[in-house]
Amino acid sequence: MEADARYAKAMGLTGKASISPRHVEIINRVFSPTLAEIDYAYEVMEAIRIGKEQGKGAVALRGKMIDAPIVARAQQTIAMAEALGMSLPGSALIPAVYAERERSSFAAGQAIVDLCRKGITARQILTPEAIRQTAGFVLKNSEDIAVLEQTQQEEGHTCHCHGSCGGHHHG
């Protein structure tokens, strides 16, 4: 079973079916990314980032060209590591050890400070409508949407005025 799973992984497959519970641990172990695979995936993404910054059309790493399937596999490896709790959430986007993550975090913090200086509060940004729009990307069915709408009604903000009406036309 293990040899068969390793062969499937080497062929680019990301999992394997089994009817025997005895095989689950083996399959999970084989298809979970190793630390070396995760490190290599981060190297691939960093090489691509640097290549783009330098305006290169082609990028090499460890003496080999990096093409679209290698990038896709690196992204998949990092996302899988994140899902399995082997890396920090969000690290599939920018690895925390890279300066780009620090620059991105600083820019986000600076944007928050700028909003505060303009008198814009989190409550003005995180309105029920903004949350509803964002949640729309992840809501799976009409039951989820109904729960969100019920929450809005319980808060008394069914008109989508975000409270600016002072509740004058809320029933």
Of residues 150 and 115, more confidence is placed in 115
Q: At 61, list the tokens.
A: 């790493």
Q: How many CB atoms lie within 10 A of CB 81?
A: 22
Burial 138-159 (b: 16+ CB within 10 A, else e): eeeeeeeeeebeeebeeeebee
| pTM of model > 0.75 | no
Q: How many angstroms separate the Cα of 155 from the Cα of each of 119, 128, 133, 163?
A: 24, 10, 17, 10
Tens digits of per-residue pLDDT, 70-101?
888 888 888 888 777 776 555 555 554 556 66
Coil, helix or strand at residue 127:
coil
- H or E segment at 59? strand 59-61
